[in-house]
Amino acid sequence: MGISRGKQENCSPSSAKVEKKGKFLALDLGGTNFRVILLELDSSLELNCQVKYYTVPESLRLGEGELLFDFLAECIESFLKDNNLLGQKLPLGFCFSFPMDQTGIDEGILVTWTKSFNCPNVVGHEVVKILKNALEKRKDVAIDVVAIINDTTGTMMMGSYLDKRSAIGLILGTGCNASYFEKVERIHKWEGKHEGITEVIIDIEWGAFGDNGILDFMKTEVDKIVDENSLIVNSFTFEKLFSGKYIGEIVKQILLQLIDKNVLFHEVKLKPQNWTFTAADVSHSLEGKDLEKISDILKSKGFLETTLDDAEIVYYVCSVVSVRGSLIVSICLSSLLRRMDKKDVTIAVDGSLFKLHPKYKHYMEKFIAELAPNHKFQLILAEDGSGKGAGLVAAVVTSLDRSKLHA
């Protein structure tokens, strides 16, 4: 099995403190590209890390689950070799960005695959055990998987590292989800003891909000088409309204309707049949109101005779779709702010849509302020927060009594 290698980067966020120094690993799986991360806490407890990106081939994303985890183990082994760490026993935090039933700090049962993954024989199984089995096949790999978290929890952890006011973690990229601090007294389904604990992190999994039909009233014909063309139909309704995996397709379907009505590209004599419009295309189209740039994007799709009027229409469609998406997310975030009712909350955000879209942050700040006018907040980018946060969780867990960390 060959490894698709990516670039390795250095990263050194400063100013945060944790209690245990040493080396810790993180594996961040949630999309086509995944990361292996080495975090090092030096004697002054400053954080430095090495990040390497790998690509999961489609055959593995849709193939037998055991082969996927064997591939992850192979990439971890390659990373350790590149960093002269083979044979060293290192704790690893596993950021697994799919819905799971978490029965312990290092136990998670997959509920369903999302996004571009649909591997048989993993749903309903404990994924840390599968990963450990894959790692045990490699004799020079001595990794201890000490924690499994999802990407929002990792982002919250990294946000807290950067800003102690962080109380909400948001993923706004290929998919969308959030976590937040909830008062224990409000959790009626809590099982087990919780003496001395006043707040816990709740992973909302709001990407699937609306799967029961409660959001059907707001779905447009375009939304229905996007859902029908998705990998898993009638699932993850909420994030299909705006997330990075779908925002470009939403724009494309609107443009197709405008073409059919002879409103758009009516001067284009030969229209391409197979073309895509991506989240990156949406972002690039909204970087200033550069109609010539939008025309170049359209030409790259095969629309060779577009006019500036065409570019103006595309700009407008991208704007409307982006405003709608940012408003939907902001409604939910403002609801969390009102529910927590804290004096000052930092919302830590990770994800390509938030990072690369030129207007999303501005839109969100405006809408949240309007919807939660009496709550002070700020949005910060916790870049690679999901993976780095998993490494920080590994650092925390190794300093605790792990026998007490199970539900």
Query: Is residue 35 annotated as a catalytic residue, yes or no?
Result: yes
> Do the beta carbons of residue 254 and residue 221 sit within 8 Å?
no
Count of beta carbons in the 10 Å neighbourhood of residue 32: 15
Active-site residue, selected from the candidate residues 70, 106, 151, 384 = 151
Is 93 within 8 Å of 76 (Cβ atoms)?
A: no
DSSP secondary structure, 1-59, as one string: ----EEEEEEE---S---S--EEEEEEEESSSEEEEEEEEE-TT--EEEEEEEEE--HH
Cα 269 off chain centre by: 40
Catalytic residue among 28, 61, 70, 97: 97
- At 219, is the secondary structure helix, strand, or coil? coil
Long-range contacts of 363-367 (CB under 8 A, 24+ apart): 363/322, 363/323, 363/326, 363/327, 363/330, 364/326, 364/329, 364/330, 364/333, 367/326, 367/327, 367/330, 367/331, 367/334
Smallest CA-to-CA distance from 134 within 150, 145, 123 is with: 145
Annotation marks residue 151 as catalytic: yes
Q: Which residues contact 158 (CB under 8 A, 6 or more apart)?
A: 13, 348, 350, 382, 384, 385, 386, 388, 389, 392
Instruction: Let me know if 339 is a catalytic residue.
Output: no
Which residues are annotated as catalytic? 35, 97, 151
